[in-house]
Chain A
């Protein structure tokens, strides 16, 4: 069965450092992968999308990589700030956007 793992349940880093979150998957060949941010008591909010034929995407302080051989995506937040503290979820989708699956999430805390 399909399985998605995110590196750790919680990650603490110091303000100004780069946060790196990992998303690994098995038994899945996604057409694309997305990263979402979720704050307590709210629904997830989209951050970035990367397709299977893309290696890297950037948006401001965010960078995502996608390695279909390793079946892994890395999500980086550079120059992290306390406001970046939230739960980050990766999500996979097949062709036509079907078979949408979310990972368990990583709770990031950026300490001042």
Chain B
């Protein structure tokens, strides 16, 4: 099993540009999470999908952020337009049953100049 796959691993962009982060969860997992991690704020949950449906998006910072899960094997997190304060490591995680652990991907390090 390849685990959770995220792409790209690193992204450097300029302020105002659109950024799209991608995630492929572990096959058979029905929950998917997007997190953002910074030194100042730690690991923050942005959005949580269950069976491809967004269940909790209260952590999405503002309208510039959007996430989709068109099918069970793919999700995207889009930032448009990006700002320097969006610079962080973005993690995707997937989970099987409710009481199981989350499996995290390697993360995407985003730098917005």
Contact = CB atoms under 8 A, between A and B. Distances in A.
B31 A97 contact: yes
Interface stretch (B11-19, B64-72, B75-83, B102-110): B102-110
B45 A101 contact: yes
Contact of B98 (A45, A96, A102, A105): A96
Interface string B78-113: 000000000000010101001101111111000000
22 contacts: A32-B99, A34-B102, A43-B91, A43-B104, A43-B105, A43-B106, A43-B107, A44-B102, A44-B104, A46-B101, A46-B102, A49-B99, A51-B99, A98-B55, A98-B56, A99-B56, A100-B33, A100-B45, A101-B45, A102-B35, A102-B43, A102-B44
Interface of B: 4, 31, 33, 35, 42-45, 48, 55-56, 91, 93, 95, 98-99, 101-107
A98 B101 contact: no
Interface residues of A, number: 20
B93 A43 contact: yes
Contact of B106 (A42, A51, A98): A42
B68 to A, nearest CB: 20
Chain B interface mostly: strand
A33 to B, nearest CB: 11
Interface of A: 32, 34, 42-46, 49, 51, 89, 96-105
B25 to A, nearest CB: 13
Contacts of A98: 48, 55-56
Contacts of A51: 99
A97 B95 contact: yes
B2 to A, nearest CB: 14
A105 B42 contact: yes
Contacts of A96: 98
